[in-house]
């Protein structure tokens, strides 16, 4: 896991000379809203009314202050952004390109969190730590990850590229790429290759997420139906053999020899 995080950081460092400017990042964050939220009706409306976008813009500036060692100013700006948007992003968090927070309420992203490109978070998501020790304490989300509302991703784990985290799940272990995880603690319930639709947009069909509990009940119901059918069949055979035995006993009492010994019932 630590090797994966190190490789991601090395990749970011290698791309640093060609990295986009803060203004370019903000423009990409602004533009990506239209591809991930069908309610977005125009760029001006998006810029003025989307708190998730506001939080990301403030973070881009606060992160620049943090990187240039203006730590107090970065924390103060981060607090101000939280006051306005109800989204708490530590200025030290590493956020990739085209990052989108839908609805933008109650999201918390810790200091050592690393978020890749084209990541989407819904409201109530927490990228938190589980240790007081310094160093890497928060999750790493690779490119294309989608995290459902209310999900908690805790500790220095890695969520693989294009993975999905179901709403209200609690993730405490690393997740492989292209996987869907749900539950408390979260478990892999589905793997899907290719998250984009025909027009290149990210697939946001959360209602198609599998239901492991429902699938388990379906299997149990099928098994119960099979066992009921089997019991009914055995009862018919038992009644038929009992009827044959009674007929043979009646003939013996009347003086007639039985045709055969009654077979064992079961």
Distance from C-alpha of 111 to C-alpha of 190, rounded to nearest angstrom = 30
Residues with pLDDT less than 70, the chain: 1-17, 190-213, 254-266
Distance from C-alpha of 119 to C-alpha of 144, rounded to nearest angstrom = 5
pTM: 0.68
- Looking at residue 14, what is its pLDDT? 46
- Looking at residue 138, what is its pLDDT? 93
Q: Tell me whether residue 227 is exposed, middle or buried, using C-beta atoms within 10 angstroms of its C-beta: 0 to 12, 13 to 18, 19 or more.
A: exposed
- Looking at residue 134, what is its pLDDT? 82
- The angle subtended at Cα 194 by Cα 124 and Cα 109, nearest 5°, is 25
**CB-based contact 119:92 (threshold 8 Å):** no
- Looking at residue 201, what is its pLDDT? 58
């Amino acid at each position: 896991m630590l090797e994966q995080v190190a490789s991601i950081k090395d990749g970011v460092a290698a791309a640093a000379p060609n990295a986009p400017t803060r203004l370019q990042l903000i423009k990409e964050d602004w533009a990506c809203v239209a591809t991930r939220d069908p309610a977005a009706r125009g760029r001006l409306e998006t810029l003025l009314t989307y708190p998730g976008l506001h939080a990301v813009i403030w973070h881009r500036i606060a992160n620049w202050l943090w990187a240039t060692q203006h730590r107090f100013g970065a924390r103060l700006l981060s607090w101000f952004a939280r006051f306005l948007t109800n989204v708490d992003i530590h200025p030290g968090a590493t956020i990739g390109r085209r990052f989108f927070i839908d609805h933008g309420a109650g999201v918390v992203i810790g200091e050592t969190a690393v978020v890749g490109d084209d990541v989407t978070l819904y409201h109530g998501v927490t990228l938190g730590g589980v240790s007081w020790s310094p160093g890497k304490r928060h999750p790493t989300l690779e490119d294309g990850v989608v995290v459902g509302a209310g999900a908690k991703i805790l500790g220095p784990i890695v969520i693989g590229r294009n993975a999905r985290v179901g709403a209200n799940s609690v993730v405490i272990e690393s997740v492989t790429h292209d996987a869907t995880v749900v539950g408390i603690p979260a478990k892999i319930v589905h793997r899907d290759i290719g998250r984009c639709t025909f027009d290149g947009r990210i697939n946001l069909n959360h209602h198609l997420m599998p239901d492991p509990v429902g699938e388990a009940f379906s299997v149990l119901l099928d098994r119960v139906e099979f066992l009921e059918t089997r019991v009914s069949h055995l009862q018919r055979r038992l009644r038929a053999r009992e009827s044959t035995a009674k007929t043979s006993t009646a003939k013996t009492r009347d003086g007639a020899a039985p045709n055969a010994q009654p077979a064992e019932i079961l």
